[in-house]
Structure 1
C-alpha cells in the first residue's frame, strides 16, 4: 500500500467531514456532539483551500483518502496547535495515524515554532498513545467544559521542538 500525504485541494469538499464521521463512528454520542463542528471545519477549509493546503494534509493510500490532520499556525513562534486529526476506521491500528502525525510534526517544525500543542480527551486512549508515540508529553488533565459526559476530561499534550 502506497501512502501519500496530499493537499486538501486534491480531494472534494466533504472529505474532512466524511473522514471524521467515519473515524468516530465507534461512538454515536461523540459523532452527534461534534457533527456541526465537523461540517463547519469542512466548509471553512474547502472554502479557503489556500489555508487548508498550507495548514494540513490528507493522508491517502492508493489514491483513497484515509485520514487527515490540520493545524493552526497563528501563534508562531510560541506554538502551533493541532486541530482535527483522524484516520478512517478501516485503517486504524495499522500505524497510519502515527505516520500521519509524524509527517505533521515534520512540517510544523519547519515553521520555527517552539512547540506543538494538542488537546484530546480522556476517552480517546488510542489518540493519547499516538501523540506519545511521536514524543508528545501530557502537560495537564483538566475539566472539559464542552462535553464532559461524552468525552471525559480534557488531556493537553505538547511537544517541544
Structure 2
C-alpha cells in the first residue's frame, strides 16, 4: 500500500511540475544595442562630404582629435606640455558630445615587475583623467591599467619603450 501511495504522490508531483512549465516565447527580444546613440550634432558634419563617420563616434574622435594617446618619460606619470595640448584637444571634442563616455587606459613599458607597471599605468591613466576632469564631468571618465601587458610596439629598445609608456583615451560605444 505504501508503494502505491508513493507512486501516486510522484505522479501527482510530475503533473504539477509539468503544468508549471513555461512555454518558449514565440519571438525573442532583440539583442542589446552595440553602440550608444551619439549625442545630437552641435556642428556641421565632421567628415568629408559623403563620409560615413558618425558624429560622436570612436571614428569621429580619432578623426577630429590630434591623438588618442599621451606619452610619458621613463618611470613618470607627469603630463608634458605636449600631453596637455593633446588632452585639451580631446576635452574640446568631448565638450561637443556630453553624452559620450571614455575610458583612459594606462600602460607601461616591459621593464619592471608586473605589479610596479600596473601601479605606474594606473597613475598615468589617473593623471590624464584628472587633467580632463578639470574640463569635463569626471563622471564620464573611467580608468584601467594594463601595465606592461598590452604593448603598442614589440621590442626591447628605447624606441619601443617610449611608445609603450602611454595613456590612451578610448571612446565607449557599448553599454
TM-score, structure 1 length as denominator?
0.31
Considering fraction of residues, name the structure with more strand: 1
Q: Which has the higher contact order (CA 8 A, sep 6+)?
A: 2
